[in-house]
């Protein structure tokens, strides 16, 4: 039986980036994917500049729209629109985007086995064995787990999470007049549930409409989506897809590796905590994992993630904390030139949140809000 140098579990952006990086460096690589590409994935498909920079090296990105107008509302009210001089977010359909990443990994030399799930992971000091749903066993010197936020590899490695959110999404086919109305513009609405927001992402003949909120209040999250769609005047449209998915952000000290098994992307809980943007994290962590296997030193992966991605996640948690407590202030700040600049630079991939939040005026503003939060908590305690 073959012993692969590397088996990647899951053929999403993280797994296919890992496979591409490893295979192009000469590593004998197999990807095992439960579905068959092109496959639907619950996702807004919004690519920020960081994602585009990673993907354009490898593929011709199948973009359906490039957004330069952003409309902001606060629970349906106090709307305003800002326009940028160039594109801010590129809109893709995940089935097309992921299928191109698959083709690029294959062109780099990886083999992709589709339509079969990995059921269990076992390892000893010499190799890893993956038990497949069809009864087969695959052997590998190293494994990269990229099977998403609730997969078998995260459980094997023992990934721990500090934030779990529920995302609900509809793919709505819309007539030409509606397509024209949304072309080049997206809508973000800061929601009634703390830390929640909703979006409309234009994709030509369809709109991706969704909401995300902390897990645990499914009924309010569903009601928020219903109300949001009604406000848009789209309640009568039958969705092509109507689905939900959990996103999970890792704890700071959660493992990224157990022995010969690394985890990347959603499987590692790598996700921007405020926006829940995860494609750039998947593309980058997958590439870093593939490069670590190719370099023969798995420990470098953990170092690289801690150096490059964890500071961004830390800043994202801080931002979410402030946003959840002060959504009206957050909304008002986005209407100011510095607030809009910060948002635009994040979308373009020109400034990460850790760099932005470390700037002196931003730090001072956050400290002020912390003080106000503490006073508000004290006053509430005194009242009860
Ligand atoms: C509602 C919603 C909207 C989002 N919108 C955006 C957005 O607009 N922009 C953005 O950047 N991010 C967004 N995200 C986050 C983004 O979708 C994820 O972070 C990203 O898909 C992670 O990529 P991945 O490769 O790690 O995992 P996935 O894309 O989940 O890929 C995992 C793959 O593993 C396969 N798999 C699972 N189990 C097994 C198994 N046992 N054996 C073999 N294969 C398996 C799956 O079929 C899948 O193909 C959104 C998330 C949600 C929930």
pLDDT (tens digit, 9 = 90+) per residue, 114-173?
Answer: 999 999 999 999 999 999 999 999 999 999 999 999 899 999 999 999 999 999 999 999
Checking phi first, is residue 228 left (phi over 0); if not, alpha (psi -120 to 50) or beta?
Answer: alpha
Mean pLDDT of 330-355: 90
Instruction: From the CA of 153, give the closest atom in ligand 1.
Output: 41
> What confidence category does residue 353 fall into, taking pLDDT thresholds of 50, 70 and 90?
confident
Class of domain 3-62+93-161+249-312: alpha beta
Q: What is the pLDDT of residue 362?
A: 77
- Rounded Cα distance between 282 and 309, Å, is 11
Taking the centre of ligand 1 as the mean of its atom positions, its distance from the CA of residue 125, in whole angstroms, is: 30
- Rounded Cα distance between 344 and 346, Å, is 5
Mutate to test the pocket of ligand 1, among 10, 133, 151, 277 (most ligand atoms within 8 A of CB): 10
Sign, CA dihedral 313-314-319-321, equals positive
Domain span(s) for CATH 3.50.50.60 in the chain: 3-62+93-161+249-312
Taking the centre of ligand 1 as the mean of its atom positions, its distance from the CA of residue 342, in whole angstroms, is: 27
Domain span(s) for CATH 3.30.9.10 in the chain: 162-246
Q: Is 145 in the pocket of ligand 1 (CB under 6 A)?
A: no
Taking the centre of ligand 1 as the mean of its atom positions, its distance from the CA of residue 154, in whole angstroms, is: 13
Class of domain 162-246: alpha beta
- Rounded Cα distance between 308 and 90, Å, is 23
Sign, CA dihedral 347-348-354-360, equals negative
* Other CB atoms within 10 A of residue 71 CB: 15
Taking the centre of ligand 1 as the mean of its atom positions, its distance from the CA of residue 372, in whole angstroms, is: 37
DSSP H helical ranges for the chain? 13-24, 49-56, 94-107, 152-157, 176-182, 218-232, 279-295, 299-308, 310-325, 327-334, 337-348, 353-357, 360-383
Report pLDDT digits (tens) over 167-206.
999 999 999 999 999 999 999 999 999 999 999 999 999 9
* Other CB atoms within 10 A of residue 255 CB: 17
Instruction: Report whether pLDDT(78) > 80.
Output: yes
Give pTM, 2 decimals.
0.96
256 touches 307 (CB < 8 A): no
Taking CA atoms only, the protein residue closest to ligand 1 atom 5 is: 44
Instruction: Report whether pLDDT(25) > 90.
Output: yes
């Amino acid at each position: 039986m073959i012993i692969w140098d590397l088996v990647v579990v899951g053929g999403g952006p993280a797994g296919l980036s890992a496979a591409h990086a490893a295979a192009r460096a000469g590593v004998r690589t197999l990807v095992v994917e439960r579905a068959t590409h092109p496959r639907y994935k619950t996702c807004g498909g919004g690519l920020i500049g960081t994602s585009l920079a990673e993907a354009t090296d490898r593929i011709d990105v199948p973009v359906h729209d490039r957004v330069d107008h952003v409309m902001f509302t606060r629970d349906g009210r106090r709307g305003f629109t800002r326009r940028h001089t160039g594109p801010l977010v590129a809109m893709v359909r995940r089935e097309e985007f992921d299928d191109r990443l698959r083709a690029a990994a294959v062109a780099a030399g990886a083999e992709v086995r589709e339509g079969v799930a990995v059921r269990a992971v076992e390892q000893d000091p010499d190799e890893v064995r993956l038990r497949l749903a069809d009864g087969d066993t695959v052997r590998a010197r190293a494994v990269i787990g990229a099977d998403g936020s609730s997969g078998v590899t995260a459980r094997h490695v023992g990934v721990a999470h500090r934030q779990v959110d529920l995302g609900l999404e509809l793919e709505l086919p819309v007539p030409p007049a509606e397509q024209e109305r949304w072309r080049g513009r997206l809508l973000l609405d800061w929601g009634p549930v703390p830390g929640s927001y909703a979006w409309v992402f234009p994709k030509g003949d369809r709109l991706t409409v969704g909401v995300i909120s902390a897990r645990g209040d499914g009924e309010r999250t569903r009601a928020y989506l219903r109300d949001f769609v009604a406000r848009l005047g789209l309640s009568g449209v039958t969705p092509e897809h109507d689905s939900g998915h959990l996103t999970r952000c890792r704890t700071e000290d959660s493992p990224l590796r157990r022995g010969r098994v690394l985890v990347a992307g959603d499987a590692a809980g790598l996700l921007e905590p405020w926006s829940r943007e995860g494609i750039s994290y998947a593309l980058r962590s997958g590439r870093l994992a593939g490069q670590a296997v190719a370099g023969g030193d798995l420990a470098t992966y953990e170092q690289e993630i801690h150096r490059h991605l964890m500071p961004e996640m830390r800043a994202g948690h801080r931002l979410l904390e402030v946003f959840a407590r002060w959504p009206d202030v957050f909304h008002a700040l986005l209407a100011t030139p510095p607030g809009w600049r910060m948002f635009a630079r994040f979308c373009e991939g020109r400034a990460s949140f850790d760099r932005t939040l470390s700037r002196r005026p931003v730090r001072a503003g956050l400290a002020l809000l912390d003080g106000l939060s503490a006073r508000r908590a004290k006053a509430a305690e005194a009242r009860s």
